[in-house]
Structure 1
Amino acid sequence: MRAMWLSALGLMFLIAQAVAAQARPDSFADLAEQVSPAVVNITTSTVVASQTGPRGIVPEGSPFEDFFREFQDRQGEGDGDGNRPRRSSALGSGFVISEDGYVVTNNHVIDGADEILIEFFSGEELPATVVGKDPNTDIALLKVESEQPLAFVSFGDSDLSRVGDWVMAVGNPLGQGFSVSAGIVSARNRALSGTYDDYIQTDAAINRGNSGGPLFNLDGEVVGVNTAILSPNGGSIGIGFSMASNVVTRVIDQLKEFGETRRGWLGVRIQNVTEDMVEAVEGLEAAAGAMVTDVPTGPAEEAGIEAGDVILSFDGKDVADVRGLVREVGNTEVGKAVRVVVLRDGKTQTLKVTLGRREEAETAVPAVAQVTPEEPIQKEVLGLTVTPVTQALRDELGLDADATGLVLQDVSETSKAYEKGLRAGDLLVEASQQKLLSISDLEARIQDAKDGGRKSILLLVRRGGEPRFVALALDE
């Protein structure tokens, strides 16, 4: 019996060792050898205007004058040919995704380049042309022509990558050529500054020159494109960011088909729902969704979406926040009819919206509002000194000719409104999702909120033309 127990214990120990070996590879050598033929170095060349050096650093007639003139001429800064344009080179990384020569890299690696040269692991060099690029995700697609099929790598599902998984970065750091570094997934769903950001954070060493290179999982699949680092000194400190492959593949498919991106466009301005809005908005149960602050001419307006609506669901998926909604809309096919569930006046409504194309919507014209009647009076309400918009105020504050609402003449520094960031010059457009044309309108909305047992009121505020909602407490 004892022998059987020891035998079973030994078997369990061997299994545990095997699992540990699988979770922590002894070496990345096999993986590096497998993927290296598909990883490339990228050299770009750009013609730039010559920068003239400092003049007059030695007095005229000085014995050193001829010496400095010769030095400047050698540096291309003299009066002869020194002012002619010169070529500037830059280095980056990339990887081949098909045997017929499609190469992925970062947009900032090739942006503005006149010539792009691809160097393969074997040492072969081929010129590349730009198929398309997307500054929003910093992704570019290149194409090289080769007589032989090229080694390539495939994309993996970045949504399956977990914090703590092993990853390997490959690229051309600081122009040193093919180089490998390994680490783990430190975090997921990181946002830096872009609208469509979805970065994998890793502690695998990433330096300048790694940009555009692949981040591999242990199966040799690309789960990210190395794009940026966080560093006080310009070198790797273990905080690198790779654009998730599930974002990249959608961009690449569109660049390959159209030479450009074609993202869905809903046609709303939105902001996150905050905890203090839950009390102020009837029927809102949690700080989730996206609050519509403005509806310019476009798909949403045609479908009946209104400012003040809270978007709870888009195309069958719950909306957690603004970032999530923007990404879902952008990833949806242009022209697709989707169902959007909104909360309005305490009840949910389902509206059908046919999406437009975001890239064509930059010149959309805002919806026209009604004209405010002249009412040259002011009054203090909830710590706010307000007055209806007049033509003189429109001119003074640079407001649109058709701007309506109440202008904040002053905000008490001891008020809740001041704590919420309201300032003189702001324009109150709505209260409780109803337009404000006079001070009496605001007072009526406040009284309605108090009669309804609410502790706060929702205000739509515009500053510099940008709208946002503010939930303001009524206990002033």
Structure 2
Amino acid sequence: MKKILTLVFVSVLGGIITLGTYKLFLEKEDNTVILQNKENPTFLPTSNVTTLLNAAENTDFTAAAENTVHAVVHVKNVTLSSGQMTLQDLFSGRSSQRAQMGTGSGVIINADGYIITNNHVIKNAHELSVTLNNNKTYTAEIIGTDPKTDIALLKIESDEALPYVTFGDSDTVQIGEWVLAVGNPFNLTSTVTAGIISAKSRDLTGRSSQSFIQTDAAVNPGNSGGALVNTNGELIGINTAITSQTGSYIGYSFAVPSNIARKVIEDIMEYGNVQNGVLGIRGGTLTSDVAEEIGVTYTEGVFVNEVTKNSGAEKAGIKSGDVIKKLDNIEISKFEDLSGYIKAKRPNDIVNVEIFRDNKLKSFAVKLSKTDIFSVNFMKMELQDLTESFKEKYDINYGVMVKKTENKWLYSNLGISEGYIITGINDIKVESIEDISKLKEQYGDDTLENIKKLEYINNRKEKKEVIFR
């Protein structure tokens, strides 16, 4: 027992000696002093996230949300599609059809029940209904659509005045500005998400034909046709698309600017179709190569390659080689800026165009022309885009019309003459004369020799297809 106590005592004593030696000789002196400063210290943010979160805390979204949620509706679209044919269907000579349901969102824009949504939300509708945020459901009527901008106008009949959202000016929104996306994702009632304007004048086609507002507000399936509003609750866009490999939101969404959407529905209500004005130029975003070629140091603007004959641009004095910098004092940095602004205008509208020519600023008042002035020469034929009224009248969705032809071979062998519509070349869908211009660039002077297949619609509106061997 004495041996055990002795052993414990020696161990404790050894520990005390070891700890004292470490504290006396080895441990570094702690010189930290805590100061009390009466002045507020300066903090530097470690990332932009801190700044944005602080800004969000100082922004009140409640009024904007309250103004919007009751004006955003749930849209249900029932379409009919051909089902698998049974043996009974075959003998009876009938085709079976089954109903499919699609959903989206819409925005009430006046107390009378007019609703704006996306064209793809109500496309091929057999039955169309709208449910308000108070769960009341109405049958909806399609007033008109514009597939190019993906905008549609609906109407519901209600005995009471409906809540609605007022339009804002999408040209004045700024990158970094806070916005709310309001819609019905996943068949829920009106849902609000917040984000900022990430970019403006975005094109998703690669043809500079679109001008979306890009935002990082979360948008998911079912949000299509919903509202993008500013912090005042004003409508600045119609949510239309997301970029995703999964089908769900991963960081970016896109909205049709409100100025374009507003102009489209006003045209539908007043004229029954969309009145598209054109400036009358062909060109593209000014690049470094073009800037060097024409001897300028800036690389922002739209370079004019060609001025359309008899267009408003030609009559006003705009020439090939000019660089467009502003439209009505709106900065034009790229072609999408120009196309987006012009889409909000009509034929005969006057637009003040500011250009650089010979290193000098010049201004021209241009009266916008109708779209039927646009044409392109191809295989000894003059082709032009189809008007929206023509497409609607003959139920033709795409193609270019033969305006004039001097191609005797195509006429004598295929009968292709004025009024024929070219819809495809070499299995490439021809939607507009832009597609024809690309084929011209691809094939050059040997166009006819390189064509292996031609699809067209004759004057009796019959679809034809010819394979050249």
TM-score when normalising by structure 2: 0.60
Q: 1:15-414 residue pairs with structure 2 within 5 A?
A: 23-24=56-57, 32-48=65-81, 50-52=82-84, 83-159=95-171, 161-174=173-186, 176-189=187-200, 190-193=202-205, 195=208, 197-281=210-294, 284-287=296-299, 288-293=301-306, 295-303=308-316, 305-311=318-324, 314=327, 319-338=332-351, 340=353, 353-358=366-371, 360-361=372-373, 364=375
How far apart, in 2, do the equivalents of 1:238 and 1:340 lie?
A: 36
Larger Rg: 2
Cα distance, 1:208 vs structure 2: 1.2
1:205 Cα deviation from its structure 2 partner: 2.5
The alpha carbon displacement at 1:351 in A equals 5.5
**Contact kept in structure 2, 1:154 and 1:222, CA below 8 Å:** yes
What is the DSSP-based 3-state SS (H/G/I as helix, E as strand, rest coil) of the residue aligned with 1:86?
strand
CA contact (8 A) 1:215 1:242 kept: yes
TM-score (ref. length: structure 1): 0.60
Deviations 1:143-199 (A, max 9, x none): 11111111112233445545454433222223x231424231150203323756343
**CA distance 1:202–1:300, change in 2 (3 Å):** closer
- Alignment partners' CA distance in 1, 2:208 and 2:258: 16
Q: Distance in 2 between matches of 1:138 and 1:348?
A: 36
Q: C-alpha offsets along residues 366-391 of structure 1, whole Å, 9 cap, x if unaligned?
A: 59x9xxxxxxxxxxxxxxxxxxxxxx
Which residue type is aligned with residue 266 of structure 1?
Answer: L
Instruction: Spell out the pairing of 1:417-436 with structure 2 (5 A cutoff).
Output: 426=444
Between the aligned residues of both structures, percent identity stands at 34
Gaps of 5+ in 1: 10-18, 54-71, 370-393, 396-422, 428-462, 465-476
- Pairwise CA distance, 1:244: 2.8
Residue segments in structure 2 that go unaligned for 5+ positions in a row: 1-36, 41-51, 381-408, 411-440, 452-469
* Deviations, residues 108-156 of structure 1 (Å, cap 9, x unaligned): 1112223321111222221222222222322212111111111112233
Between the aligned partners of 2:221 and 2:117, the Cα distance in structure 1 is 14
Tell me the alpha carbon deviations over residues 77-127 of structure 1, each in whole angstroms, 9 at most, x when there is no partner.
886698333333211111211111111111111122233211112222212
One-letter amino acid matched to 2:250: I
8 A contact 1:105–1:211 mirrored in 2: yes
Superposed CA RMSD: 4.3
User: 2:350 touches 2:367 (CA, 8 Å); kept in 1?
Assistant: yes
Provide closer, same or farther for how the CA distance between residues 112 and 335 of structure 1 changes in structure 2, counting only shifts above 3 A. Answer: same
- Contact in 1 for aligned 2:69/2:192 (Cα 8 Å): no
* Matched residues, number: 343
Residue type at the aligned position of 1:51: G
